[in-house]
Chains A and B, each alone.
Chain A
Amino acid sequence: MKKTLRAHDQRDTRQRADDQEVPEGAKPVYLLDREDQTRAKVLSNMLKQKRKEKAGKWDVPIPKVRATSEAEAFRALRSGKSKRKAWKRMVTKVTFVPDGFTRKPPKYERFIRPTGLRFKVAHVTHPELKATFQLPLLGVKKNPTSSLYTSLGIITKGTVIEVNVSDLGLVTQSGKVVWGKYAQVTNCPENDGCINAVLLV
Chain B
Amino acid sequence: TMSSTADDNDDNGEDRAVLVQFVSETGEEAGPPLQALLGSTVADLKATLDAQLIVQSGDYDDQVIYKFFVDEAEVATSLAVAVDCGQVNERLLRIVYQPQALFRVRPVTRCTSSLPGHSEAVLSAAFSPDSRNLASGSGDAAVRFWDLSTETPLHECRGHKHWVLCIAWSPDGRRLASACKRGQICLWCPDTGKQIGRPLARHTQWVTSLAWRPLHLDSECRLLASASKDCTVILWDTIVGQVSRVISGHEQAVTQVRWGGTDLLYTGSRDRTVRVWRADDGALCRTLQQHAHWVNTLALSTDYAMRLGANEPGKPAPEIGAPRTELCERARRVYEAARRDQPERLVSGSDDFTLTLWTPETDKRPVARLTGHLQLVNDVRFSPDGRLLASASFDKSVRLWDGRTGKFLATLLGHVGRVYQVAWSADSRLLVSSSADSTLKLWDIGAAGGKNRLKPVNDLPGHADEVYAVDWSPDGQKVASGGKDRELKLWRN
CB under 8 Å from chain A, chain B span 155-199: 161-163, 165-166, 181
* Residue pair B141, A28 in contact (C-beta under 8 Å): no
- Given that A22-B139, A22-B140, A22-B141 are known contacts, is A28 also in contact with B124, CB under 8 Å in the complex? yes
Interface check B267, CB cutoff 8 A = no
Residue B391 at the chain A interface, CB threshold 8 Å? no
Expressed in whole angstroms, the minimum distance between the Cβ of A72 and any Cβ of chain B is 51
- Whether a CB of chain A sits under 8 angstroms from the CB of B208 is yes
Q: Find the residue from A25, A26, A33 having the highest chain B CB count within 10 A.
A: A26
Given contact pairs A18-B161, A22-B162, A28 touches B420 in the complex (Cβ within 8 A) = yes
A29, B209: Cβ atoms closer than 8 Å: yes
CB-defined contacts of B166 to chain A, threshold 8 Å: 29
Contact B121 A26 (CB under 8 A): yes
Contact status A29-B208, CB under 8 Å: yes
Interface residues of A in 109-132 (CB under 8 A from B): none
How many B residues, CB 8 Å from partner? 27
Closest to A32 in B: B206
- The answer, yes or no, to whether A24 is at the interface (CB within 8 Å) is yes
Asked if B469 is at the interface of the complex by the 8 Å CB criterion, the answer is: yes
Chain A residue at smallest Cβ distance from B124 = A28
- What distance in Å separates the Cβ of B168 from its nearest Cβ neighbour in chain A? 12
A 62-97 binary contact with B (CB < 8 Å = 1; else 0): 000000000000000000000000000000000000
Residues of B within 8 A of A32 (CB): 165, 181, 206
Contacts A22-B163, A24-B120 given; does A30 touch B296 at CB 8 Å: yes
User: Shortest Cβ distance from B250 into chain A, in angstroms?
Assistant: 15
Q: Which of B139, B166, B253, B378 has the most CB of A within 10 A?
A: B139
Determine if B420 and A30 form an interchain contact, defined as CB atoms under 8 angstroms apart: yes
- Interface residues on chain A, number (Cβ under 8 Å): 12
* Distance between B375 CB and nearest chain A CB, rounded to angstroms: 12
> Would you give the shortest CB distance from A94 to chain B, in whole angstroms?
44
A172: shortest Cβ distance to chain B, in Å? 15
Residues of B with C-beta under 8 A to A23: 162
**B162 and A28 contacting across the interface, CB-CB below 8 Å:** no
Chain A residues whose C-beta falls within 8 Å of the C-beta of B138 in the assembled complex: 26
- B115-163 at interface with A (beta carbon < 8 Å): 120-121, 123-124, 138-141, 161-163
B378–A30 contact, CB under 8 A?
yes
Docked Cα-Cα span, A27 to B378, in Å, equals 14
Residue of A nearest to B138 (CB): A26
Contact residues, B84-129 vs A (CB, 8 A): 120-121, 123-124
Instruction: Provide the residues of chain B in CB contact with A18, threshold 8 Å.
Output: 161
Give the residues in chain B near A28, CB-CB below 8 Å. Answer: 123-124, 165, 420, 468-469
Q: How far is the CB of B267 from chain A (nearest CB, A)?
A: 15
Are A29 and B165 in contact (CB-based, < 8 A)?
A: yes
Tell me which residues across on chain A come within 8 A of B297, comparing CB atoms: 30
Contacts of B162 in A (CB 8 A): 22-23
For the complex formed, measure the closest distance between the CB of B229 and the CB atoms of chain A, giving whole angstroms: 8
Task: Tell me the complex Cα distance, A190–B297, Å.
Answer: 64
Cα(A87)–Cα(B140), bound, Å: 80
Which chain B residue lies CB-closest to A26?
B139
Q: Write the nearest CB–CB distance from B381 to chain A, whole angstroms.
A: 14
> Which residues of chain B are near A26, meaning CB under 8 Å?
120-121, 123, 138-140, 163
Contact with A along B433-468 (1 / 0, CB 8 A): 000000000000000000000000000000000001
With both chains docked as a complex, state the minimum distance between the C-beta of B16 and any C-beta of chain A, in angstroms.
42
Which residues of A1-52 are within 8 A (CB) of B? 18, 22-30, 32-33
Which residues of A are found within 8 Å of B139, using beta-carbon distances? 22, 24-27
The smallest C-beta distance from B139 to any residue of chain A, in angstroms, reads: 2
Interface residues of B in 6-42 (CB under 8 A from A): none
Which of chain B's residues have a CB closer than 8 A to the CB of A33? 229, 253
Q: How far is the CA of A27 from the CA of B296 in the complex (A)?
A: 15
CB distance from B123 to the nearest CB of A (A): 5
Question: Distance (Å) between the CB of A132 and the closest chain B CB?
Answer: 35
Least CB distance from A35 to B in Å reads 13
- With most chain A CB atoms within 10 A of its CB, the pick from B165, B296, B420 is B165
Shortest distance in angstroms between B411's beta carbon and chain A's nearest beta carbon?
15
C-beta contact mask, B463-479 vs A, less than 8 Å → 1, else 0? 00000110000000000
C-alpha gap A25/B138 in the complex (Å): 11
- Write the nearest CB–CB distance from A134 to chain B, whole angstroms: 37
Least CB distance, A183 to chain B, in whole angstroms: 30
- For B420, the chain A residues whose CB sits under 8 A away are 28, 30
Residue in A closest to B484 when the chains form the complex, CB atoms: A26
> CA A32 – CA B207 in complex, angstroms?
11
Q: Which residues of A contact B208 (CB under 8 A)?
A: 29
CA distance A47 to B161 in the complex (A): 40
CA of A130 to CA of B468 in the docked complex: distance in angstroms? 48
What are 7 A-B contacts with C-beta separation under 8 Å? Answer: A22-B141, A26-B140, A27-B121, A28-B165, A29-B123, A30-B297, A30-B420
Listed from nearest, the 6 A-B pairs whose CB atoms lie closest are A26-B139, A28-B468, A26-B121, A26-B163, A28-B123, A29-B165
Q: A22-B162, A23-B162, A29-B166 are in contact. List 11 more A-B contacts (CB 8 A).
A: A22-B161, A26-B138, A27-B163, A28-B124, A28-B165, A28-B469, A29-B123, A29-B208, A29-B255, A32-B165, A33-B253
